[in-house]
Amino acid sequence: MSWLDDFQRALEGIGMPARRRRRIYLELEDHLLSDPTAVDRLGDPGDLAARFADELGATLSRRASFAAFRALAPLGVLFGVLFASQGAAHLGSTDHDLVGPAVIFGTQIAFVGGMLALFRAYRLRDAAAFPAAQARVLLRRSALGLAGGLLTVAGILAGALQAPSQVASWYLSLAYATAGVGAVTLALAGVPFVRAAWLQPVAPGAAGGDLESDLGPLVPMALRGDPWRLALSIAALVALCIAVAGVAQGDPFDGLARALADALACLAGFLLLGRWLGLRA
């Protein structure tokens, strides 16, 4: 049994996809044909296969995170236009709200997941490799963002299909376009996500970092060193923005209620999903 055979079995053992495994094998085979003594420098085939998995898995995980953010960005822009156009579309004269609770909930999940994935991927942009736990955090954040995007698309499409006749036709066209663009971009982002999920690093170790390290210089000095203090501050900022928006819309009491609900949702998410998403150690 040759060194290359052991190396190929090691690649199979870590789950390297067949096409990529074949390409790596052929490159090493060609290299060893031109320089047979290189096998001594390559070392143990299992260790080399693990290094391939760590470096390639890290690259794929980052790529999936950036792809998720790019997929959610146009959906977010179109949704913002859709939401701002409700009054002009005569939705106010009906009992039907095309931008209902499911859509609002989905956009919030998509925004949080997409931004968290972007922050962590950007922080790790120069890392040649990192532990498997770090790759799992990246994929969880990306999955959260993509799931929120899918919920948003489904909610917008369902609302448009059930819209009453008095809703402006241009608004329905915008709703269908938003759902269509979102469906396409999310499907495209699913490809690098599946590839990253298929091949992850195998290196042991903790994910490393938390929300503070992801935000970096954006975190004021007074909020550093205590993840819960940072979470409370972010929740308070979210509540303030929603309350101000409610006042601007002439409905301060409803705005205050939504502000408190969103602040509590932020804290609940930090409590329940904080470790799973790598927000706190």
- Domain boundaries in the chain? 3-43, 46-207, 209-281
pLDDT tens, residue by residue, 234-273: 999 999 988 888 777 777 888 888 889 999 999 999 999 9
pLDDT tens, residue by residue, 20-46: 888 988 888 888 888 888 777 888 888
Over range 135-159, report the average pLDDT. 96
Residue 77 binned pLDDT confidence (cut-offs 50, 70, 90): very high
For residue 6, is pLDDT > 60?
yes
**Contact status, residue 274 vs residue 144, Cβ threshold 8 Å:** no
Q: What number of other Cβ atoms are within 10 A of residue 131's Cβ?
A: 20
For residue 100, is pLDDT > 80?
no
For residue 154, is pLDDT > 80?
yes
Q: What is the pLDDT of residue 179?
A: 95
For residue 90, is pLDDT > 70?
no
**DSSP per-residue codes, the chain:** --HHHHHHHHHHHTT--HHHHHHHHHHHHHHHHH-TTHHHHH--HHHHHHHHHHHHHHHHHHHHHHHHHHHHHHHHHHHHHHHHTTGGGTGGGSS--SS-HHHHHHHHHHHHHHHHHHHHHHHTTT-S---HHHHHHHHHHHHHHHHHHHHHHHHHHHHHHT--TTS-HHHHHHHHHHHHHHHHHHHHHHHHHHHHHHS-----S-----HHHHHGGGS-GGGTT-HHHHHHHHHHHHHHHHHHHHHHTT-HHHHHHHHHHHHHHHHHHHHHHTTTTTS--
Residues 6+ apart with CB under 8 A from 268: none
Q: What is the pLDDT of residue 45?
A: 86
Over range 206-217, report the average pLDDT. 92
For residue 173, is pLDDT > 80?
yes
Residue 162 binned pLDDT confidence (cut-offs 50, 70, 90): confident
Q: What is the pLDDT of residue 246?
A: 78
Over range 129-145, report the average pLDDT. 97
Q: What is the pLDDT of residue 236?
A: 94
Please count the residues of the chain. 281
Structure-block tokens of residue 195: 């590839």
For residue 96, is pLDDT > 70?
no
Q: What is the pLDDT of residue 152?
A: 96
Q: What is the pLDDT of residue 83?
A: 84
Q: What is the pLDDT of residue 3?
A: 83
Q: What is the pLDDT of residue 95?
A: 52
